[in-house]
Structure 1
Amino acid sequence: MSPTISPPAAVQHGGLSALGPEATELLRLLDDTFAGWGVRAGAAQLTMPPLLPAAELAKLDYYDNFPHQAILATPLDLAKREEHPYSTTAGTFPQEALEPAALALPSAACYGVYMHHAGTALPDGTLVTVLGRCFRKETEYHDLRRLLGFHMREVIAIGSREHTEQHLRHFTDRITAFAAALDLPLRKEAATDPFYDRGGARLLLQKLSPVKYEFLYEDLAIASVNVHRNFFGERCDITVTDTGESAFTSCAAFGLERWLSALTRRHGSWAAATEAVRQAGAAV
């Protein structure tokens, strides 16, 4: 009989990863852990669509601030498909064979949440959590550290400034304690996400008071806490029920494949990393 060859735990090709049973078990365990933090804090669990209207992202200045990451999706134009067929040499359809791109692949899980609540009033203290399939165009891809498509768990706060700031303090403590229990040395560094007009007063405020902190293992950011002030509240017309004012938002985000990379590098094997997460989850 031929020997049984086990598939690799994780394979990345062209920025797209396939996870075997061991990697899938650890990814689900991590996601259950992070989602559980949100649920225990009172977060409602939501599921957002895998595609978003490009026009709605444009209202959020997405294509001005993140053109280098943007990925669009569009159907084939059936009237032009035969005239402009798939190229086996290039491995692509020509642009002439495609309809205009009206759909986008989101680069973060929270965008769909703000669109979902557009035009609504929410009580102060609102929390939601989502698991998103996210996509980012990168200059290069490397194992599970940097991918074209990946999983992102987010826990999002919507309400007053005080609520959103408290949310980030709570999750900063959670991440710090969890990393310590995992024996995973992380460093917290200020970063920036240009959600705001690059030439406006909000950008100056962002530089004076950082809106994003990343948690890095070695040179890899595996989690972040982000405050958006009332940017999404204003752009999506989300208000706070009691005051009628534009809602503030903040989020804690976890790149799950990056956690897989960090944990297996730190603990040496999938089994050891999984056991470390089980023990740390029970301790924190």
Structure 2
Amino acid sequence: MNKLRDELVEAGLLISTGIQGLFGRSEKFERVVDALDAYITRLGADQHAEVLRFPPAMSRPEFERSEYLKSFPQLAGTVHSFCGNEHDHQRVLQCLDRGDDWTESQKPTYVVMTPAACYPVYPVVAQRGALPADGRIVDAFSYCFRHEPSLDPTRMQLFRMREYIRIGTPEQILAFRQDWIERGTRMIDSLRLPNSIDLANDPFFGRGGKIVASSQRDQNLKFELLIPIEYDGRLTACLSFNYHMDHFGLLWGIKTEDAAVAHTGCVGFGLERLTLGLFRHHGLDPHAWPQAVRDVLWGHR
């Protein structure tokens, strides 16, 4: 059992589907998500970012090229579909009638679930040729999938991620990241949520992944803004500030104006987690939230 999850479901804010980490959302929940999304847009208005929106799936060849499976095979979600003939279809129906496994005729398609909002962006930018002198900033937003079923409502399998992605020189990326660490902290402070910034690493897979994670921390490549959301006091990463160095620039052949390999970085906002943080700390009725918080989210209208 999970106390926070049970409260949210009982209040009708989240709708259980019977699958861990897969929820429906109520109108009240979505109103908060929409307000947060609009707030992030206002915070980043001076970035003059190019807005790109993709569905929550990407091409399998591009996904394979991204090396996500090299680092996080345990989180990936592929899309399969029936690829058989009429005889195979009859076998599927018979399996369904018997309650047996019916997936033998399901084969992988050329579509993969998007693991992070920035992943479809890099090949698009690469196709355009060399970057302008000041690099590029992209605003991306997508549902994302990660296969980590859990009773913890802060660890959903399908969730929304808003990102600003910076592509350019190392100096441009590091300045961008530091700026957004400061902006992100001010944002969460304005929402009256307890928070802290800490060094972090991604959940790389296997024994080799532990070495990569240690290297990521040693190089100060990833920071997270943490908010206590669960009742046991555990801290949940709600914003992340990432410097990928030349990883994606090399993979996709992205070049700067002077033909050097581009570096990339991003700031990511977990919209469901931020929404859960607001409900956890300010109560289940947004009308009763502190007026200062309501003004930040809805007072501009």
TM-score (normalizing by structure 2): 0.82
User: Quick one: structure 1 residues 210 and 82, their matched pair in 2 at CA, closer, same or farther if it must change by over 3 Å?
Assistant: farther
Counterparts of 2:24 and 2:280 in 1: how far apart (Å)?
18
Q: Which of 7, 11, 15 is residue 15 of structure 2 equivalent to?
A: 11
1:269 Cα offset (Å):
2.5
Q: Counterpart in 2 of 1:99? A: 107
One-letter amino acid of the counterpart of residue 72, structure 2: F
Assess, with a 3 A threshold, how the Cα gap between structure 1 residues 195 and 48 changes in structure 2: closer, same or farther. Answer: farther
Q: What do the CA deviations read for 1:15-57 (whole angstroms, capped 9, x no partner)?
A: 2221211111110010111123233221111112321122222
Higher helix share: 2
Query: Gaps (5+ residues) in structure 2?
Result: 1-9, 229-234
Looking at structure 2, the residues matched to 88 and 223 of structure 1 have their Cα atoms a distance apart, in angstroms, of 46
> In structure 1, how many angstroms separate the alpha carbons of the residues matched to 2:180 and 2:277?
19
Q: Which runs of 4+ in 1 moved over 6 A?
A: 201-204
C-alpha distance in structure 2 between counterparts of 1:250 and 1:146, whole Å? 23
8 Å contact from structure 1 (residues 164, 248) kept in 2: yes
Aligned residue in 1 for 2:227: 217
Q: Shift of residue 246 of structure 1?
A: 1.3
How far off is 1:228 after superposition? 0.3
Instruction: Tell me which residue corresponds to 2:279.
Output: 264
AA of the residue aligned to 2:35: L
Cα gap change, 1:41 to 1:134, in 2 (>3 Å): same
Cα pair 1:215 1:221 within 8 Å, conserved:
yes
- Aligned identity (percent) is 29
Please, what TM-score do these two structures have when normalized by structure 1?
Answer: 0.86
Deviations 1:81-114 (A, max 9, x none): 2222363675x96332212343210111000111
Task: Choose the corresponding residue for 2:187, options 178, 189, 194.
Answer: 178
Unaligned stretches of 5+ residues in structure 1:
1-5
Matched letter for residue 266 of structure 1: H
Match for residue 142 of structure 1? 152
Residue 161 in 1 paired to residue 161 in 2? no
What aligned pairs does 1:27-176 form with structure 2 within 5 A after superposition? 27-79=33-85, 80-85=88-93, 87=96, 94-119=102-127, 120-123=129-132, 124-143=134-153, 145-176=154-185
Q: Is the 8 A contact 1:192 1:210 kept in 2?
A: no
- Which residue does 2:232 correspond to in 1? none
Is 2:201 the counterpart of 1:192?
yes
Which of 233, 242, 254 does residue 238 from structure 1 map onto?
254
Does the residue aligned with 2:239 lie in a helix, a strand or coil? strand
Aligned equivalent of 1:26, options 21, 32, 43: 32
The change in CA–CA distance for 1:273 and 1:244 in structure 2 (over 3 A counts) is farther
